[in-house]
Amino acid sequence: MEDENNKKIKHNFTFLENSDVQEHFADLNIELLSGRHIQKDRFYLYKLLKDYYNELSFYYEKLYGLELIIETRENSKYYYVDYPEDSKGALSHTSRHKKLTPKQTLVGIILLNMYYEKYFENKKEVRFVDIKKEIKESDNNILYKKLFFNKVQDDYTEGDWSIKVIKPFKSVLRDFNKLGWITNLGIEDGEEIHFELREPIIRFQKLYEDEITNFTQFSEKYLSQIQ
């Protein structure tokens, strides 16, 4: 029986011998296991996922205990791997993945709100002026000001904005870009931040539903850590 199972697995892995798979699979595997969400702009990786979805689903289930998931948002499809809810995959140990930091979670909440604000825009571009407006004028502005500046006032110095908002945002955006939640765009003279919000950022909503729903409690806990 064991030999038959081995033969079956080997047979299902024969797709790895195909030339198109051999050319791009290494890159695809690295990106999926690092948590990236693959969309059409990653043409060859996306095509591989589309053409070999069943085979790749079997591969990640058998080797890693992971699910290869395809989701559709605003008529845009994207792929990623995740742990089954009723079991733990081979990569579920904390040494092999990490939870977002409170700062990353805060930025994620802000970006998710901005995503929904721009929901009907074809290209959801964000610049620093948009982030500044969100922090100063949104419904959560009091908490945002406390979390970023540790004080509430009408405005802050350019130095405060640079050190306490722009710098941490740019750091988090680099990580979110690797996950496929945003795409960094070209910047103009004097501009610090310019990126596009992508559909997979909805995944953040699933992963951090408790922090989003209980934002006040999350904020109070975060403030107690930084004060």
Q: What angle do CA 108, 26, 9 make, to 5 degrees?
A: 105
pLDDT in tens, 117-171: 999 999 999 999 999 999 999 999 999 999 999 999 999 999 999 999 999 999 9
48, part of any domain = yes
Q: How far is CA 9 from the centre of its chain?
A: 32
- 129 and 210 co-located in one domain: yes
pLDDT in tens, 41-51: 999 999 999 99
The residues facing 79 across adjacent strands are 38, 70
- 78 and 114 co-located in one domain: no
- 68 and 109 co-located in one domain: no
**Distance of alpha carbon 165 from alpha carbon 131, whole angstroms:** 9
Q: What integer pLDDT is reported at residue 197 of this predicted model?
A: 97
87, part of any domain = no
Mean pLDDT of 202-225: 93
DSSP state of 208: T
- 37 and 118 co-located in one domain: no
91, part of any domain = no
DSSP state of 165: I
Beta-carbon neighbour count of residue 97 at 10 Å? Answer: 13
- 58 and 107 co-located in one domain: no
90, part of any domain = no
**Distance of alpha carbon 181 from alpha carbon 117, whole angstroms:** 16
- 113 and 193 co-located in one domain: yes
Domain that holds residue 55: 2-82
Tell me if residue 80 falls in helix, strand or coil.
strand
93, part of any domain = no
Mean pLDDT of 70-90: 80
Last residue within a domain, chosen from 53, 82, 111: 82
pLDDT score of 223 more than 60: yes
- 30 and 112 co-located in one domain: no
CATH code assigned at 40: 1.10.10.2250
What letter represents residue 98's amino acid? K
pLDDT score of 90 more than 90: no
